[in-house]
Amino acid sequence: MSTLSRGLVRAKIYRVGSSIEPDFGLASLITYMVVSFVGSAIFAALFLLTGTMVAKFPPNCLVDTVFVHK
């Protein structure tokens, strides 16, 4: 039952998205590019910030878990 309702919701979202997308065209593409660029820039800045913060602590737990438990 829950999978059926999930599928219906997904189909509705897809239908709405496909009906909205072709109407805009170039303007929406440019806006999307700008938004994604700004978002990725912010994400990169945050990632660098957290990376430098994590690098200050010698036992890097994340790296240890990733490389040791393979």
Tell me if 40 is assigned to some domain: yes
Cβ atoms of 27 and 35 within 8 Å: the answer is no
Residue 60 contacts residue 54 (beta carbons within 8 Å): yes
Q: State if pTM tops 0.85.
A: no
The answer to the question of residue 17 being in a domain is no
Residue 59 lies in a domain: yes
pLDDT value of position 70: 46
Question: Which whole-number Å values give the CA distances from 64 to 3, 12, 34, 40, 58, in the listed order?
Answer: 38, 43, 36, 27, 11
Q: Structural domain tally of the chain?
A: 1
Residue 63 lies in a domain: yes
- Digit-coded pLDDT (tens) for 31-69: 888 888 888 888 888 877 776 665 555 555 555 555 554
Assign 28 a pLDDT band (cuts: 50, 70, 90): confident
Look at residue 4 and tell me if it is in a domain.
Answer: no
Give the domain range for residue 52: 24-70
Quote the CA–CA distance of 15 and 55 in Å, as a whole number. Answer: 46
**pLDDT at res. 42:** 84
